[in-house]
Amino acid sequence: MSTEFAIILCPFLVAALILIFHRRLSKNVIGWVVFFIPLSLFIILTTFIPRISSGETFSNTYEWIPSLNINFTTYIDGLSLIFSLLITGIGALVVFYSIFYLSKKESLHHFYCYLLLFMGAMLGVVFSDNLMVLYAFWELTSVSSFLLIAFWHHRKASRAGARKSMTITVSGGIAMLAGFLMIYTMSGTMSIREILANVDLISEHTLFIPSLVLVLLGAFTKSAQFPFHIWLPDAMEAPTPVSAYLHSATMVKAGIYLVARFTPIFGGEMIWFWAITGIGLITLFWGSFNAVRQTDLKAILAFSTVSQLGLIMSLLGIGSVALNFGYSTESIIYTQATFAAIFHLINHSTFKGALFMMVGIVDHEVGTRDIRRLGGLMSFMPVTFTIALIGSFSMAGLPPFNGFLSKEMFFTAVLRISTLDIFSLDSLGVLIPVVAWVASVFTFIYCLIIVGRTFTGKVKPDIKERELHEAPFGMLVSPLILVGLVILIFFFPNIVGNYLIKPAMASIYPAFPVDEMTPRIYAWHGFNPELWMTIGVVILGIILYKFLKYWSRIYNWIPQGLTLNRLYEGFFTKSEDISGNLTNRYMNGNLTNYFVYIYVIFVAIVAGYFITSDAFAWNLFSGSKIDHYELILVFVMMFCAIALITAKSRISAVLINGVLGYSVAFFFVSFRAPDLALTQLVVESVTTALFLICFKFLPEIKREHSTKRWKITKGAISIFVGATVTIVGLAVINYEKFASISTYFEDSYNLAGGKNIVNTILGDFRAFDTMLEVVVLFIAGLGIYALIKLKAVKGDKTIEKSE
């Protein structure tokens, strides 16, 4: 097995082992066992850096379903390496933090199992070269994040946040799947690398723009872009380690990865540029604007994450313009926007992960995240204050922190793009730097709120009585490492640029010289427009922060009934009411009615087709010879069918039904199908015995008292159903609308290696169907097991209470 496959499968394997052996592991040990998984994977991935930075790539293929062009192909290049390092590196720090953060009373084996599932799914997303495999891992991230967000499932808000996140992200994922299928239709391949090599062949296709839009829907929902961002603040009901991992460094970055990976395919299109740049800037502004009004520290960070994701997305949109000019000096200038996007993606993971952990520390030690109840913590928690200060000021874009460097590059990109004369930028382009600057002002304000309202001022009376103290050292290690990286990257940014971002740029712009796309990062560029924009942000931000209570009333002007959350909740509430009323109309508990619905629709569709087409062509004299014993079996079955509906006791009905089943088995014998006959006999014997065991204890059959009209209706439906089935059976004999598939199955030995056609159909040709049937039975078994265990637990509690 290759290293890439092992890296992806390792988290899944360990997650399964934890569920099996967690009872043998102490809760003090289980976290440490899990910690070494992402740490080991991170160390292994760092060994790829020298070779990736020199231009190498790594690919391995495991043939999965080659007939459908679906293979498990891994591909590691500069872009996937950056994301994998973030997934494992931040993952290791989050696991270490959670060891000290989570109570030993929690269901830790479930928590770490879900976390490892998510880690493996994210690694699968960034390493997959096949579109269908990427989609499978993509949706697995939604499922595992649902489990993590709803980890505290006893809380209503946690369950609601998990449902909202899964509904929105899975809906976007389905749209993305449709886009992938369109890309496959255009290119004839599922391999992303092969698609990139044939971009010119698909760019003129009629499905090109629809596939572009659908892929962006998947990216926007996953990366919480406006108006799909509403799931992210509600997802903050998850434990803080989950927020620090999913919503700062991994899951929300999946959409960023998708846009970057597909830029070589769709970049250069006007709709691609404006959708990504425009939605990104709207998200940047709306997230920062709403962050200022929040009173919960986690909510502030949630909207700040939305805002920062919008910033990164807009940079990717601006950078895609480079593909409109081909290789030229002008195009190289615009690729630096993409360079800034990747740089800020790394920076954001460091300072936002530290800030989430800081909020968890405050909540853990003080007991609240409400800034209206916080204040004066600086003297009691100096290390936590330092973490908050460095993380917040880096997010605000101040030196000497890494956020300043990428934020300056962001200002450079928006100023450059505003002067371009394509895509209507000569008129609309002036708005881009304005929106970016205004959003940066609000960013600076909420960063001041995080630090000022939490750590400065006086301690509030309701928390003054608590014994305030610094967090345990174990909880401080991870955020201290992250803020240490914040400072180190500021002083040594070109190490990151040359060894990580440079090969990622080669992945996004494969036709451009990579050395020319990798600018030298400087902390000082003189008094240029970008620096004056930063100075303006600081000055206006401080003023607005000081007078916040006066101008914050503008938030009251927003109609509460027109918010996106209200629209979402109203839509689903109305949908549930409509579906509930509709369901209650036909799901009335009457089994007879259910059969009536099924049979009426069956007759309408099947018989309707035969009536409106010439499909029914039956010649009485062209069929096979009917032997006398077959006629006897037919009359026996007819007698049993009539007797079954007139039987006065359940035991009689069961026995007659058994005779009917055995008659079918005799037909299989006459048709020389002994395996089917044996199966029919075994099943019929078992079911008859089970029926007798069950029905023996039930009362006699009570005759239904229905009106004459209802009896006639049911009789007519029965006749129509019987006639329809008979017509279908007779029509099959001479049906020539489509070629028979029997000749295909007759070659079962060459196709599947089996001489028995029935066995090969069940085991090979219908393998997916059989697999799904097994899965259904497995899930049903799990449900029964859970009910039995739940009943046992309730019984034990009842006994304890009685004692």
- The full 3-state SS of 238-287, as one line of letters, equals CCHHHHHHHCCCCHHHHHHHHHHHHHHHHCCCHHHHHHHHHHHHHHHHHH
Mean pLDDT taken over the chain: 87
Mean pLDDT of 715-738: 80
Mean pLDDT of 399-421: 92
Using alpha carbons, list the distances in angstroms from residue 58 to 2, 11, 114, 320: 10, 20, 28, 25
pLDDT category, 413, cuts 50, 70, 90? Answer: very high
Does some domain include residue 269? Answer: no
pLDDT category, 624, cuts 50, 70, 90? Answer: low
Does some domain include residue 653? Answer: yes
Q: Residues with Cβ < 8 Å from 688, sequence gap 6 or more?
A: 654, 655, 657, 658, 661
Cβ–Cβ under 8 Å, residues 509 and 517: yes
Give strand pairing partners of 58: 76
Tokens of 72: 């498990």
pLDDT of 63 above 60: yes
pLDDT of 494 above 60: yes
Using alpha carbons, list the distances in angstroms from residue 322 to 201, 271, 331, 336, 424: 20, 15, 4, 9, 16
pLDDT category, 803, cuts 50, 70, 90? Answer: very low
Among 80, 78, 3, 12, smallest CA distance to 43 is for 3
- What percent of the chain is predicted at pLDDT more than 70? 94
Does some domain include residue 204? Answer: yes
pLDDT of 636 above 90: no
Q: Residues 505, 508, 514, 516: is their CA dihedral positive or negative?
A: negative
Distance CA 736, CA 738 (A): 5
Does some domain include residue 462? Answer: yes
Per-residue pLDDT, 700: 66
CB atoms within 10 A of CB 225: 31
pLDDT of 401 above 60: yes
Q: Are residues 73 and 174 in the same domain?
A: yes
Which range, 235-239, 486-490, 755-759, has the best average confidence (pLDDT)?
A: 486-490
Q: Which of 717, 738, 759 is the last residue of a domain?
A: 738
Q: Flag whether the pTM goes above 0.75.
A: yes
Q: To the nearest 10°, the Cα dihedral for 101, 103, 109, 111?
A: -50
pLDDT of 407 above 90: yes
pLDDT category, 419, cuts 50, 70, 90? Answer: confident
Cβ–Cβ under 8 Å, residues 331 and 481: no
Q: Are residues 102 and 202 in the same domain?
A: yes
Per-residue pLDDT, 800: 41
Per-residue pLDDT, 280: 95
- What percent of the chain is predicted at pLDDT more than 90? 48
How many domains are contained in the chain? 3
Distance CA 403, CA 347 (A): 6
Q: Ramachandran region of residue 397, left (φ > 0), alpha (ψ -120 to 50) or beta?
A: left
Distance CA 556, CA 562 (A): 12
Mean pLDDT of 306-318: 95
Q: Residues with Cβ < 8 Å from 589, sequence gap 6 or more?
A: none
722-731: list long-range contacts, CB under 8 Å, 24+ apart. 723/607, 724/602, 724/603, 724/606, 724/607, 724/610, 727/607, 727/610, 727/616, 728/606, 728/610, 730/616, 730/618, 731/610, 731/615, 731/616, 731/617, 731/618
Q: Are residues 491 and 390 in the same domain?
A: yes
Per-residue pLDDT, 793: 54
Distance CA 598, CA 341 (A): 56
Distance CA 125, CA 500 (A): 19
Q: Are residues 205 and 342 in the same domain?
A: no
pLDDT of 464 above 70: no
pLDDT category, 747, cuts 50, 70, 90? Answer: confident
Q: Which of 526, 546, 566 is the last residue of a domain?
A: 546
pLDDT of 725 above 90: no
User: Which pLDDT tens digit goes with each residue over 244-257?
Assistant: 998 777 888 999 99
Does some domain include residue 779? Answer: no
pLDDT of 723 above 50: yes
Per-residue pLDDT, 526: 83
pLDDT category, 802, cuts 50, 70, 90? Answer: very low
Question: Domain limits at 428?
Answer: 326-546
Residue predicted with more confidence, 25 or 388? 388
Q: Are residues 534 and 624 in the same domain?
A: no
CATH classification of the domain holding 686? 1.20.120.1200
Per-residue pLDDT, 669: 85
Q: Are residues 236 and 366 in the same domain?
A: no
pLDDT of 99 above 90: yes
Q: Are residues 633 and 542 in the same domain?
A: no
Distance CA 573, CA 779 (A): 29
Mean pLDDT of 670-690: 84
Q: Which helix (H) or strand (E) holds 63?
A: strand 58-65
Q: Are residues 539 and 625 in the same domain?
A: no
Q: Name which of 71-75, 299-303, 679-683, 727-731 the model is least confident about.
A: 727-731
Cβ–Cβ under 8 Å, residues 142 and 30: no
Q: Name which of 183-192, 252-261, 406-415, 698-707 the model is least confident about.
A: 698-707
pLDDT of 356 above 50: yes
Residue 134 three-state SS: helix
Cβ–Cβ under 8 Å, residues 265 and 208: no
Q: Are residues 70 and 173 in the same domain?
A: yes
Q: Count the residues in the chain.
A: 803
User: Which pLDDT tens digit goes with each residue over 749-796?
Assistant: 777 777 777 778 877 777 777 888 888 889 888 888 888 877 655 555
Does some domain include residue 766? Answer: no
Does some domain include residue 642? Answer: yes
Per-residue pLDDT, 488: 96
Q: Are residues 643 and 730 in the same domain?
A: yes
Mean pLDDT of 561-582: 83
Among 246, 218, 11, smallest CA distance to 131 is for 218
pLDDT category, 425, cuts 50, 70, 90? Answer: confident
Residue 625 three-state SS: coil
Q: Are residues 633 and 733 in the same domain?
A: yes
Does some domain include residue 268? Answer: no
Q: Are residues 447 and 341 in the same domain?
A: yes
Q: Which of 696, 717, 738 is the last residue of a domain?
A: 738
Q: Residues with Cβ < 8 Å from 369, sequence gap 6 or more?
A: 296, 297, 298, 359, 362, 363
Distance CA 124, CA 9 (A): 9
User: Which pLDDT tens digit goes with each residue over 168-196?
Assistant: 999 999 999 999 999 999 998 999 999 99
